[in-house]
Chain A
Amino acid sequence: MAVIRDVMPAFELLQPNSIAEAQNLLQQNGSDAWVLAGGLDSFDWLKDRIKRPKTVIDLSGVEELRGIRTTSDGIEIGAMTTLTEVAQDPTIRGKYSVLAEAAELVASPQIRNQGTIGGNVSQDTRCWYYRAGWPCYRAGGNICYADTPDGRNREHAILNAERCVAVNPSDTAPALIALDSKFVISTSKGQRVVDAEDYFVGPDIDITRLHILQPGDLLTAIRIPTTWANQQFYFEKVRDRNVWDFPLLNVASAMTLSGARIQQIRIAVNAAAARPLRLKNVERAVRGMPPNAATGEMAGKLAVEGAVPLQFNAYKIPLMRNLVKRAIGGVEQAA
């Protein structure tokens, strides 16, 4: 099905210079428009000729969308800021290191130089049946090829699957959820700010998207409040090839301690479902407990409750259990 031709189908390329101009173009073109950020997801689709937008709106010329700014309540990262810039920014490295760590583990240096944080959280799933252009649920069809008795589903979902079992591949998403970030969306009705975890949707809500952006919407920035600055963070990503790969699973947590006990915690995993999952039941359960191996053990078991493995991804259940355990108790204690 997917034949890489390396020559993209013809489209009209529009290159706005401001958010207002971009927003205007998005509204004019509606669902015919394709938003191009770093291009790392987009060019696959376009070169494979699976997606054939009439119009591509290239955001690379919108300076307002770039850069990391300090605000009265934390920082604001422009959606077009590259992952390298995020990973190397001194403020992020100093105060929100979980995000720097997550960004640094995305793919390869070349990809991080080109890829943007907005693109990383808004990228499409990597399910190869879907990416190959097969008419699955996510592509508007009526079947999930991965969730069949013979489907190759080693990388697919163990939680919250609803017809489609594809997963969200973002590494920065769980870190941003752990930091209680807010996503700033420019829409035809004005600006909308949503919690990071609410930016993502599962197939139960919308089977054709991984996020809430509708045609005409534009993610402009991500705001990270100071609430979790300089707290105790944990990020771990497990992938097949450590030099360059999408996550099989990743976990991010932010924790505040009161003495030797967990006072507050936010923890999220990704690549376990079609949306990054904030583990609220784990957060509630470990509050007030010491961040040790026993607590981690309990948290790990709690995290995978309700998990339903497919034919080839049962390994994700102990993997997730152990990642959550390590995020709570630390690597040494969990080992």
Chain B
Amino acid sequence: MSFLQWAINPWGLRVPIHIAWFLIWVAVIAGVGFFIVHATYVRYFAKPRQFAPDTPPIVPSEIPARVPRHSQVARAFHWVMAASMLTLLCTAFLPKVGVQFNWVTYHWIAGTVLTISILFHIFHASFWLDFWSIWPDRIDMTDAYYRVLRFIGRPAPAPRKFAKYPLENKLYHGAIIVAGLCAIATGVVMMFRVHTIFFPRNPYLFGDMTWGTIYVLHGLAGVGLIALVMVHIYFGIRPEKRPITKSMIYGWMSREFYLEEHDPTRWVVSPSDAAPGSSDRSARTE
């Protein structure tokens, strides 16, 4: 069993041409396996989460009832990226499992949309958002260490609440960066192999071995994204994560969820940040 498909090129060289397509099913099974293991663990074995107390204590009335989490632009980016990613995965892999349609054009158009949206995201996140908020910091690593110790029954202090993004979010974002940028970089180059509106087709841009490697990397990134997207959707619909999912739709999360999960010293929210609809008296005085 080979993870790659090889061929002999016209010059007698053995070159990789793409991944073995059974890896699609490996990714799908890995995704489903993760759902089952995680859901079973959470349902039957997980202990209630414990966080270290807030220091200094929080005065809830200083926090708006609706805590803004994602700007309109950030949400628009997310959903454009999600639509293009799902289109890319469907157009890439459905034909491989027997659903036949004219996929190439849709694929490169969706890839172009994704590329533009990612470039925009990098620019937007670098200059308009808190760039470092999505990267793991020292506190995340220390708390992760504590959580592991507590998971295996060793004594450790309770971890602190999360900053704007939990460590899991940050690690997922890192994995998406690796797989996504690999797929995009190779995909842009692969557009030289088909007819698009962007540049003249040039199959001689690289040698067969380089092209083969590009196709393999694109395929590996693609099957990796299958599992990553499955896991992302799974968490998006899990009950305890729904406030986060809703925040990606409406832009805000409730003060209760914020205070329960997030450390106001690591994710500072002031009353002036209140999302629209925060000004109702009952919410303020709760």
Partner-B contacts on A (CB < 8 A): 1, 134-135, 139-145, 147-149, 162-163, 201, 204-206
The reply to whether A142 and B212 form a contact with Cβ atoms under 8 Å apart is: yes
Shortest Cβ gap from A88 to chain B (Å): 38
Instruction: Judge if B7 is at the interface, Cβ distance under 8 Å.
Output: yes
Query: Contact between A143 and B211 (Cβ–Cβ < 8 Å)?
Result: yes
Q: Is B203 an interface residue (CB 8 A)?
A: yes
Cβ–Cβ < 8 Å partners of A135 in chain B? 7-9, 15, 17
User: In the complex, which residues of chain A have a beta carbon less than 8 angstroms from the beta carbon of B203?
Assistant: 143-144, 147-148
Residue in B7, B15, B100, B193 whose beta carbon sits within 8 Å of that of A201 in the complex: B100
* For the complex of A and B, 4 pairs with smallest distance between CB atoms: A135-B7, A204-B102, A141-B17, A205-B100
Point out the residues of chain B lying under 8 angstroms from A141, CB to CB: 7, 17
What is the CA–CA distance of A140 and B102 in the complex, to the nearest angstrom?
A: 17
Assess A162 versus B104: contact at CB under 8 Å? Given A147-B203, A148-B204, A149-B204.
Answer: yes
**A162 and B18 within 8 A (CB):** no
Say whether A162 contacts B212, CB under 8 Å: no
**Cβ-defined contact, B10 with A134, below 8 A:** yes
How distant is B176 from chain A, measured CB to nearest CB, in Å?
Answer: 25
Contact of B193 with A205 in the complex, beta carbons under 8 Å: no
B5 CB–A CB distance under 8 Å:
yes
User: What residues of chain A lie closer than 8 Å to B17, measured between beta carbons?
Assistant: 135, 140-142
**CB-based contact A145/B10 at 8 Å:** yes
List 28 contacting pairs A-B, 8 Å CB cutoff, sorted by A: A1-B8, A1-B10, A134-B9, A135-B7, A135-B8, A135-B9, A139-B7, A140-B5, A141-B7, A141-B17, A142-B17, A142-B18, A142-B211, A142-B212, A143-B193, A144-B203, A147-B201, A147-B203, A148-B204, A149-B204, A162-B102, A163-B104, A163-B194, A201-B100, A204-B103, A205-B101, A206-B95, A206-B100
Contacts of B208 in A (CB 8 A): 143
Chain A's nearest CB lies how many Å from the CB of B12?
A: 8
Q: How far is the CA of A142 from the CA of B9 in the complex (A)?
A: 11
Measured between beta carbons, the chain A residues less than 8 angstroms from B9 are 134-135
Interface residues on B, range: 20 to 34
Are B101's CB and A142's CB within 8 A?
Answer: no
The distance from the CB of B100 to the nearest CB of chain A, in whole angstroms, is 5
Q: Which partner residue on chain A sits nearest B98 by CB separation?
A: A214
Contact with A along B1-34 (1 / 0, CB 8 A): 0000101111000010110000000000000000
Within 8 A of A (CB), among B56-108: 95, 100-105
* A139 to B102 CA separation, bound complex (whole angstroms): 18
> Measured between alpha carbons, how far is A206 from B95 in the docked complex, in Å?
8
Residues of A with C-beta under 8 A to B95: 206
Q: Quote the shortest CB–CB distance from B230 to chain A (angstroms).
A: 26
Per the bound structure, the CA–CA distance linking A96 and B5 in Å amounts to 47
Residue of A nearest to B104 (CB): A162
Closest B residue to A205 using CB positions: B100
- Interface centre among A1, A135, A163, by most chain B C-beta atoms within 10 angstroms, is A135
Q: Most A CB atoms within 10 A — which of B7, B102, B103? A: B7
A207 CA to B211 CA, complexed, in Å = 19
B215 touches A204 (CB 8 A): no
Q: How far is the CB of B3 from chain A (nearest CB, A)?
A: 16
Nearest CB in chain B: distance from A133 CB, A = 8
**What is the CB-to-nearest-CB distance from A147 to chain B, in angstroms, rounded to a whole number?**
7
A315 to B101, CA, bound (A): 31
Closest-CB distance, B107 to chain A (whole angstroms): 11
Q: Which residues of A contact B101 (CB under 8 A)?
A: 205
List the B side residues contacting A149 at CB < 8 Å: 204
- Residue numbers in A under 8 Å from B102 (CB-CB): 162, 204-205
User: Which residues of chain B in 182-227 are interfacial with respect to chain A, using CB atoms and an 8 Å cutoff?
Assistant: 193-194, 201, 203-204, 208, 211-212, 215
Residues B104-148 near A (CB distance < 8 A): 104-105
Q: Which residues of A contact B18 (CB under 8 A)?
A: 142
Residues of B within 8 A of A205 (CB): 100-102
Measured in the bound complex, the distance between the Cα atoms of B5 and A141 in whole Å is: 9
Residue of A nearest to B215 (CB): A142
Shortest distance from the beta carbon of A139 to any chain B beta carbon, whole Å: 8
Which one, B7, B104, B201, contacts A204 given CB within 8 A? Answer: B104
| Closest CB in chain A relative to B196 CB, distance in Å | 12
CA distance A181 to B201 in the complex (A): 38
Q: In the bound complex, what is the Cα–Cα distance between A134 and B194 (angstroms)?
A: 19
Q: A201-B100, A205-B100 are in contact. Are A142 and B204 (CB under 8 A)?
A: no
Given the complex of chains A and B, what is the CA–CA distance between A236 and B76 in angstroms? 57
Q: Report B182 CB to chain A, min CB distance, Å.
A: 17
Residues of B within 8 A of A144 (CB): 203
From the candidates B10, B103, B193, name the one contacting A142 in the complex (CB within 8 A). B193
Q: Distance (Å) between the CB of B93 and the closest chain A CB?
A: 15
Q: How far is the CB of A25 from chain B (nearest CB, A)?
A: 22
Give the distance in Å from the alpha carbon of A135 to the alpha carbon of B204 in the complex: 15
Who on chain A is nearest to B211 by CB?
A142
- A147 CA / B100 CA spacing, docked (Å): 23
Q: Closest residue of chain B to A209, judged by CB? A: B100
Nearest to B21 among chain A residues (CB) is A140
Q: In the complex, what residue of chain B is closest to A136 when comparing beta carbons?
A: B7
